């Protein structure tokens, strides 16, 4: 028994459009060609796949089962065709992203989702980390696009997002027990949580006073959980702790200045002259052509 992709695509079109005539019009074929393809398919399986209800063609129960089984194959075959067409036109089959962990996950995966909808043949590769260096990501991991908080000497670098960071502690932390603004000495004598990361052989840490006592972690999630225990304070991204601030679990420290700061994220492209639709589309989604946002 040898059925073809074309026969299944004809069956799918008839079902989706409801008639042989509509399928013929969409596929730019004669109605007799459509009818013949369906007949051959039914003959090969020796079971009816379609039935007419009024003037509308609908799947039989057997037809529903078989078409459901073949749908993934049709999707895969179309993706293959799109990938081949993209390669022939000089397009991409893979786009590699390196994204700083400060960048909001909901935005990140929304961007990736839009990319895969617009270019279903493209395989996105993602690497997340703290204190990423675009130079290191491009040279060591083959990234095409990098979202980073560290600028180098790239010609094309675009600030896209300012992340509001606030000094906070759990509501019962000793730093919040007094009624006066905190001093530098108050902070130094308390334990702070800071995020650190290794870029190549270089250790990078969240800004802090040299004499500050600190607990080092490697993710934003860990720093939030450390503050939640009550053992330390920290500068945390406000968008990640909104529920804790609203509930009163976390409270901003009463600092005379510096209680809120901004961490700026930049979009950097490896290929400044890229004509890749996929990469340029992705850069636009990240904000290459929009004013910088504040979060």
**Could you report the per-residue pLDDT of 46-93, keeping only the tens digit for each?**
888 888 887 788 888 888 888 888 888 877 777 666 666 655 555 567
Per residue in 167-189, pLDDT tens?
A: 999 999 999 987 788 988 999 99
- Over residues 3-22, mean pLDDT: 84
pLDDT of 264: 94
Mean pLDDT of the chain: 86
CA angle at residue 241 from 166 to 181, to 5 degrees? 35
pTM: 0.68
DSSP string computed for 267-282 = EEES-TT---HHHHHH
- Decide which of 92 and 12 is more confident: 12
Q: Tell me what the mean pLDDT of segment 258-271 comes to.
A: 90
pLDDT at residue 271 in the model: 75
Asked whether residue 210 carries a pLDDT value surpassing 80, the answer given is: yes
Q: What is the pLDDT of residue 89?
A: 55
Predicted confidence (pLDDT) at residue 290 exceeds the cutoff of 60: yes
- β-pair partners for 94: 123
Domains by residue range for the chain, with CATH: 5-88 (1.10.10.10), 92-295 (3.40.190.290)
């Amino acid at each position: 028994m040898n059925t073809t992709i074309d026969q299944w695509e004809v069956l799918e079109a008839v079902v989706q459009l409801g008639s042989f005539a509509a399928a013929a019009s969409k596929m730019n074929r004669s109605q007799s060609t459509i009818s013949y393809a369906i007949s051959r398919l039914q003959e090969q399986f020796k079971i009816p796949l379609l039935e007419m209800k009024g003037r509308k063609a609908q799947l039989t129960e057997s037809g529903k089962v078989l078409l459901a089984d073949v749908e993934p194959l049709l999707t895969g075959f179309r993706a293959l065709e799109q990938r081949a067409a993209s390669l022939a036109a000089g397009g991409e089959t893979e786009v590699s992203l390196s994204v700083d962990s400060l960048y909001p996950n909901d935005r990140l995966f929304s961007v990736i989702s839009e990319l895969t909808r617009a270019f279903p043949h493209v395989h996105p590769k993602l690497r997340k980390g703290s204190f990423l260096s675009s130079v290191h990501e491009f040279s060591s991991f083959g990234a095409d696009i990098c979202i980073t908080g560290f600028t180098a000497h790239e010609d094309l670098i675009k600030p896209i997002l300012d992340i509001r960071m606030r000094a906070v502690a759990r509501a019962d932390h000793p730093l919040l027990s007094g009624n006066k603004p905190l001093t530098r000495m108050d902070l130094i004598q308390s334990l702070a949580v800071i995020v650190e990361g290794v870029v190549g052989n270089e250790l990078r840490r969240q800004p802090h006073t040299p004499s500050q006592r600190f607990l080092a972690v490697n993710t934003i999630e860990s720093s939030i959980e450390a503050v939640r225990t009550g053992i330390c304070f920290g500068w945390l991204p406000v968008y990640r702790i909104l529920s804790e601030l609203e509930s009163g679990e976390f409270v901003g420290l009463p600092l005379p200045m510096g209680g809120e700061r901004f961490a700026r994220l930049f979009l950097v492209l490896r290929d400044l002259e890229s004509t890749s639709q996929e990469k340029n589309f992705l850069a636009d989604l990240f904000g290459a052509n929009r004013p910088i946002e504040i979060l």
